[in-house]
Amino acid sequence: MTTSIRERLDAMRAFYAEGHTREPAFRKEYLRRLQEAVKAHEQEIAEALYADLHKSAEESYISETAIVLAEIRDQLRHLERRARSRRVPTPLFLFPSASRIIREPQGVVLVMAPWNYPFQLALDPLVGALAAGNCVALKPSTTSARTCRLIGNILGEIFPPDYVSVFDGDHAQTAELLEYRFDHIFFTGGAAFGRTVMEKAAAHLTPVTLELGGKSPCVVDRTADLDTAARKIAWGKLLNAGQTCIAPDYLLVHRDVKEELLEKFRRYAMHFYGGDFRRSAAYPRIISDRAFTRLQSYIDTAERIVWGGEYDASERFIAPTLIDSPDPGSPLMQEEIFGPILPVMNFDDTESAADFINAREKPLALYYFGRKADGLRLIGRTASGGACINDTIIHIANPRLPFGGTGDSGMGRYHGRFSFDTFSNLRAVAVSRRRTDLPLRYPPYGRSFGLLKKLL
């Protein structure tokens, strides 16, 4: 007999009510078990990611497994300190009370993961939710089917189903899950479905974290070291064949250095993947026919392809492609690309580059290559979830940096202590003495009000 979603969630609430997850020692024990399981299944994880996305074992480890292991290490190292209540100063007029902040788990939370980094983006928030003491309903993406099944198997070996429950059903199951009340919903994916998640959560006044995407600009100034810039941009763009929420989505290049930068980009892209992208065992493929068709349409309608443009529907292969000066109003420049296609726009000064960025929705990331001072000024004039100066993507790998979006690119932050706080209720507690009191606060005030005003 199949257990219904309601029955599974009721069992999770009953398990949470028993109080086991409130104990730091309990949390750490299961995080250690997860850590060992991820290490033990490293080869299977790589095989699943290759089957789903044609990722090499090296790329899978660097961009997925290693990030999850780093998050587990960070939470294990700091969990007890993060879980501890913290005293804060109390104003004199509240004498003789004391004040503290207690971090308590939220309860039963829902984590919804996408297909593009199916292991990392499922387990990374899961680790933060467990560290904070929650029970977790995890919904991986079935689009990356092999990885989804493997996640279910790994977590099923470790966790009681009332503690961590993996929901690996279709879109109908996702829709049904969103009808139930959770204590927090953490969603990673596209903005369109993110709005649906927020709408469903609003019916229960459930707080949400939305990790979305957007068109992340990459600005290359004439002061940039073009060799280093080209290498880092090619790596950041072609990682996972561009199917990365923080991949450089379009280039804004100073007119004086454009041709040289593009030539170096081509050279590094070919060096990374052996010169023949189609035959490269390290060059990923597009996840689905639907995604391939969308990307193909960008190429077919492009007016000026300066490099690449080859594709093969039978393999869902799309070569790295540079498109020069597309119409800013075209779908290519209005939609998140999520593929190995890179539009290239010119600029003459950083003020015009900032204006171009600010005329669009706030991106998840912003990249600048050039002098640090100029990069900081550009960051100060624009808005984005995160940013790198003279690099791409690396900010996501530091568990001490908050990761998240702003505006259309999302809301909320996670990684490290930011995950712990996201999945915690910060409870304000004031403790007064049983018998000692300050009579000034009680009416009738009379002359004592003057003293009370000074204290306030």
CA 409 to chain CA centroid, nearest Å: 10
Phi, psi angle pair for 74, to nearest 5°? -65, -45
Tokens of 191: 């903005």
Query: Which of 218, 245, 336, 388 is labelled catalytic?
Result: 245
Q: Which residues pair with 430 in a beta bridge?
A: 99
Distances (CA, A) of 424 to 35, 77, 108, 135, 218: 22, 18, 11, 12, 35
* Count of domains for the chain: 2
Pair 206, 248 in one domain: no
Strand order, beta sheet including 424-431: 86-88, 98-105, 424-431
Q: Determine, yes or no, domain membership for 449.
A: no
* 191, 163, 134, 245: CA torsion to nearest 10: -30
Q: Is 148 among the residues known to form the active site?
A: no
For the chain, give the number of residues.
456
Specify the CATH number for the domain of residue 421: 3.40.605.10
Instruction: Give the CA-trace dihedral at 148, 149, 155, 160, to 10 degrees.
Output: 120
Same domain (yes/no): 254, 154: no
Please tell me whether residues 189 and 228 are part of one structural domain. no
Q: Is residue 416 part of a domain?
A: yes
Q: What is the domain extent for residue 226?
A: 217-397
Residue 369 resides in a domain: yes
The gap between the terminal CA atoms of the chain, to the nearest Å, is 64
User: What's the confidence (pLDDT) of residue 2?
Assistant: 61
DSSP state for residue 440 in the 8-state scheme: G
Question: Do 181 and 245 belong to one domain?
Answer: no
What is the dihedral angle through the alpha carbons of 396, 364, 280, 294, rounded to the nearest 10 degrees? 150
The verdict on 341 and 413 lying in the same domain is: no
Please report, in tens digits, the pLDDT of each residue of the chain (456 residues total): 467 999 999 999 999 999 999 999 999 999 999 999 999 999 999 999 999 999 999 999 999 999 999 999 999 999 999 999 999 999 888 888 999 999 999 999 999 999 999 999 999 999 999 999 999 999 999 999 999 999 999 999 999 999 999 999 999 999 999 999 999 999 999 999 999 999 999 999 999 999 999 999 999 999 999 999 999 999 999 999 999 999 999 999 999 999 999 999 999 999 999 889 999 999 999 999 999 999 999 999 999 999 999 999 999 999 999 999 999 999 999 999 999 999 999 999 999 999 999 999 999 999 999 999 999 999 999 999 999 999 999 999 999 999 999 999 999 999 999 999 999 999 999 999 888 887 777 788 877 777 777 777
How, if at all, do strands 98-105 and 86-88 pair? antiparallel
Please name every residue paired with 366 in a beta bridge, in sequence order, or none if there are none: 387
Same-domain check for residues 207 and 254: no
Same domain, 324 and 411: no
Q: Which two tokens stand for residue 103?
A: 């971090």
Q: Same domain for 174 and 232?
A: no
Same domain? 70 vs 192: yes
439 is a domain residue: no
User: Is 211 an annotated catalytic residue?
Assistant: yes
Asked which of 397, 416, 445 is the last residue of a domain, the reply is: 397
Whether 33 is in a domain gets the answer yes
CATH of the domain at 387: 3.40.309.10
Same domain, yes or no: 320 and 186: no
Specify burial of residue 199 (Cβ count, 10 A radius: 0-12, 13-18, 19+).
exposed
- Bond preceding residue 96 cis, omega within 30 of 0: yes
Task: List Cβ neighbours of 327 (8 Å cut-off, separation of 6 or more).
Answer: 303, 333
Residue 215: both structure tokens together: 């068109």
Evaluate whether residue 446 is within a structural domain. Answer: no
Let me know if residue 451 belongs to a domain: no
DSSP 358-378: HTSPPPSEEEEES-HHHHHHH
Same domain, 169 and 74: yes
Q: How far apart are CA 286 and CA 297, in angstroms?
A: 14
At 327 the three-state DSSP class reads coil
Half-sphere exposure of 348 (CA within 13 A, CB side): 0
Pick the catalytic residue from 211, 218, 336, 388.
211
pTM metric for this prediction: 0.95
The answer as to whether 443 is a domain residue is no
